[in-house]
Amino acid sequence: MSRDEFRALVEEAIDTIPRRFARKIRNVAIVIEDQPSGELLEEMEIGPDETLLGLYQGVPLPERGFGYGNQLPDRITLFQVSIEEDADHNEDEIITAIGETLIHELGHYFGMSEEQIMAIEERYWRGEPDPEDGAEDPQGDGSSGEPGA
């Protein structure tokens, strides 16, 4: 699949992100790379039988202090070859894998625990609507996810 075709699928998958998250995303770049480097996999202690589909790099919203600002965008990297192989090169499966990966990495952006992220991914995977869509609390902990809130 060409990079342009993959990018179009990323744009399609972005439209599937639950609204309560999508409307709170600020200053995040989504980058596409072929696959993670060996150095990155080693740094993250990802073994040869594991696959890294995406990576969030930045400062999660809850960790941002009062003086946080004038920063480069946080970055979510999607690894195209890894995603395509994980989805057996099936376009529908690729869209699903991109959506799940974006939701997972955005969970890190919002400072969510792995358990919270996994619960959202499960609903996404089953095609269930987000019961909190329309809510202003993406972390599910009473905070708005906004700095200083």
Those residues with Cβ within 8 angstroms of residue 42's Cβ, 6 or more apart along the chain or in another chain = none
Of 1-10, 29-38, 130-139, the range with the lowest mean pLDDT is: 130-139
Q: What is the greatest pairwise CA distance in the chain?
A: 45
Whether the per-residue pLDDT at 118 is higher than 80: the answer is: yes
pLDDT digits (tens, 9 = 90+) for 75-117: 999 999 999 999 999 998 999 899 889 989 999 999 998 888 8
At 13, the amino acid letter reads A
Secondary structure (3-state) at 86? helix
For residue 148 the two structure tokens come to 């200083």
At 134, the amino acid letter reads G
Task: Report the predicted TM-score, pTM, of the whole model to 2 decimal places.
Answer: 0.79
Q: Which domains are present in the chain?
A: 3-126 (3.30.2010.20)
Specify the pLDDT at position 145. Answer: 46
Task: Average the pLDDT over 44-55 and give the result.
Answer: 92
Report the percentage of the chain scoring pLDDT > 90: 49
